[in-house]
Each structure stands twice: as structure tokens, then as C-alpha cells.
Structure 1
């Protein structure tokens, strides 16, 4: 496999994007996000491409969040907004987008997956935002709303308030996955063939209709950016980053604030 962290191939109207950092469970770097942003901007103008498939390398993860060091090198709230713009670009693509999930799909990985049209996964896959247990940060409101649109509000509340992960069976039962399969490659091939054989006119019109409603309902509230800035400069995030880098369990709350 190539050393590139984002592998993009194109054949017969299908673009396949592979997140290629298996040693880090395919956690996204700022460079990977920048490449994805450029790719999505290009795909928005490509009527010859009908399907975009996103998947992770290594068989253990779709993507396990973001590279934490990137948040320390920039304005974290501004970085969240920049990532949000990229996700909006993915969501708005005229092509049918498929997240093919094999393993852990958390944090930034889940954000990407929930901005795809269709999600299929292997039985061992797990989903969530465990940030309440790890980093003590917060998600932008549109990402939370998109998760709730895919998984439902009760599960979204549970995964964010407790940090628990959701297994593939439960995700399928609530409609967040269209299929759970032992043969991920075979299922992708069959799904892509169905999409290619169907009407692009119907697909694009339907996406515009559904997305218009979603964007109206999932807009960020006025307080969102100020709240994120407060979170990312607060004691819990500082403790979460310290513990993450030290490979320790974070100690949130009064014990940290008394230091």
C-alpha cells in the first residue's frame, strides 16, 4: 500500500477514498482534511462520477477521530468550523456517497460517516463520540444534529453523555446503517452496481430535497461558536489533552481545578 494518508482511485464512474493511517486507526490529520476538502470541491463539478465510496485501511477502523496535536497548533474553535465546512461539502455532493465501515468509527470518523448518504458496516464495527471520557471537548451543533438524524436523539444523547459506543446491530436496528455484512467488499460492489444502474436525475433531485430540510433543521445556534471557544480553552479540555499525551486516564472535575 502507498505511504499516502489519503488514497484516491477512480474507475467506471466510482471514486474510492481510503483513509490510510492504520497505525493510528486512520485518525484524520489536518493534511488529510485539506485533501478531502479539495477532492470534494472537485467532485462537485464532476457529472461523470456517480458514486463516492469512503473506507479505512487496515481492517480495524474506518477512522478513529482526529489527530489531537492538530488542535494544539491552531485555534480549536476555528478548526472545528473549518472541518464543518468540509463536512458540508461532503454532504452536498451530487454523487451518492457510501461509508464502508470495518471496525471503529468514532469522533471525526463518525462525523464523516454520518454526512454520507448510505452506511454499511461489518458486524464488529462500533460507533460513537467518546469525548466525555477522553478529551472533555464538545462537538459543533451541526455535527451533533447530523448524528441525531442518523442514530436518533436517544442514542445520540447516550453516546455523547456517557461516552459509550454503539454496536453495529443496534446501529442497524435504528436505521443508522442500511446493511450489516460479513462480506464488505461484496456488499459495496452490489450497492455500487445498483446506484450506477439507477437514475442520476432521481438521485440528485432526492438528495437536494432531503438535504435542504436537513440543513434547515441542523443549523448551528447563535451561541455555538462562543461555547466551543469556551470549551476548548477550559480546564477539562486541557486535562483531556494532557492525559491523552501522557497515555493516562483523564481526571475531570474538581480534582483538576484544585491543582
Structure 2
């Protein structure tokens, strides 16, 4: 499969994947979801790719998340069943992925980073789950992962308000592993990937296999599937339609609570 919306490069045993729609801040639409899902399928089956680094094209955005304009225009939806960016519902991948967050990671963009194993952020990065501002909620595992990683109390305030979190707060809360100067981001991410690639790949896969099992036994997988049911109900509401319309029209939404 030739990719149009992502680029890939292999460096030793490390696969570098770049979300490549900088003109829309690397927002993910249906075709891009499917390309990324195919990329992760191939990564999973490759004997020569042991670790991946995921980043976004340009200096402004890791990814803005869901391409709401594409959705509002009735664009083709993803066919993958593996979740946002082909990743958020993928609970059987046994190889680690490092998110190199080079700018803002919003909504599904932050959920994509949370679906990775390690998050290294540029000091210019910002994070948010702002779905509640446009009639959605963080249904691509954001509710589950953020509350698990930083604790429910802190996560609830961030998700209920949809506010932005800078790198200092993100590091203090444990939302990211490391913050580095912007110019050093990819070097830091690739160095961490090479560090992982220097140990036994079989041992790393065994470790992640157990972690994946925890996602099942502790209910994250089931909860993620339940999120899809809830979002389907939410999409039938007037507030959902209003949120998308207001975003596209660049105006304040008029919520009606139904």
C-alpha cells in the first residue's frame, strides 16, 4: 500500500512514522486512519522493525486530532477497526511506539500519543482533550488512558473542561515521560528508540504482551468498546450536530442539552 498521508522511514531496527497533512495540522481523516492502520499492521509483522517513533510533519502540530471539516462534509470514513490513527483500539501490538510530540496534540491527537508507550514532548507542545467543546467526548481511549496514567481526579478536571495543558504541567502530572528543547526532539526520541532496540526484542515483546493482558483483565478494552456505543448515542443528539456546525462555522455553539 502506497501512503499519501503518512511517511515512513526505517533507521536500523527503528521505524519512523510521520503524520503528513501539515496543511490541516496533521488532522486525521478516514483515508489517513486506514493508512496508519496498515502501517501498524506491517510494523507488527516485520522481523526487522522493533520500535517505532511517531511524530507529525511541521513545527506546529503533532496532530490536531479528528478532521471535523472532513466529517462535516461527509468525507469517507475509516474502515479500520483498530481505532483512532489505527492505534487506540489495538490491544495486541507487542512492539513499543514512542510519540515524539512536536507541537499541539489535541483531542484524538492526544489520544494517539496516549496510545503509544512513551511520550517525549517538545517544549513547544500543548495537550488537550477538548472534545466537550464541540459536542464530542474523548471516546478514542482518552477517558480510560488519561485517568489511568495521571489519576482520575486530575483527569476528570482536564476532560470536563477541555482546557489546554502545557508541558510543565504535563510533566508534573505524569502525562509525558520527558520534555526536551524543540530542536532536540527527534534526536531524543530516536535515542530512546535505539536504547530500546539495543535490548532483547523478544523480552520487550514479552513485557508488552503482559501489559496488553492487563488492558483486558482490568477492563480497558471493554471500556473502550463501550465508549464506541456511547459516542454512537451522542452523535444522535442536537448538541453533537451543533458542536460540529459551530466548529466549521467558527462560532460559539448554542447548546440545548438534548
Please indicate the TM-score interval, normalised by the length of the shorter structure. Answer: 0.7 to 0.9
**SS of equivalent residue, structure 1 residue 98:** strand
| Native 8 Å contact 2:43 2:49 kept in 1 | yes
Partners of 1:69 and 1:145 in 2: CA distance: 26
Partner of 1:186: 187
Asked whether 1:245 is paired with 2:244, we answer: no
Partners of 2:80 and 2:161 in 1: CA distance: 22
Unaligned 5+ segments in structure 1 are none
Partners of 2:24 and 2:226 in 1: CA distance: 33
Partner of 1:220: 222
State how many pairs are aligned.
Answer: 251
Partners of 1:75 and 1:228 in 2: CA distance: 18
Partner of 2:233: 230
| Native 8 Å contact 2:80 2:86 kept in 1 | no
* Deviation at residue 166 of structure 1 after TM alignment: 1.4
Partner of 1:114: 114
| Native 8 Å contact 1:71 1:79 kept in 2 | no
Change (3 A) 1:148 1:202: same
Change (3 A) 1:142 1:60: closer
| Native 8 Å contact 2:60 2:104 kept in 1 | yes
**SS of equivalent residue, structure 1 residue 44:** helix
Partner of 1:162: 161
* Deviation at residue 70 of structure 1 after TM alignment: 4.2
Unaligned 5+ segments in structure 2 are none
Deviates more, 1:21-30 or 1:217-226: 217-226
Normalising by structure 2, report the TM-score: 0.87
* Deviation at residue 210 of structure 1 after TM alignment: 1.4
Partners of 1:14 and 1:194 in 2: CA distance: 10
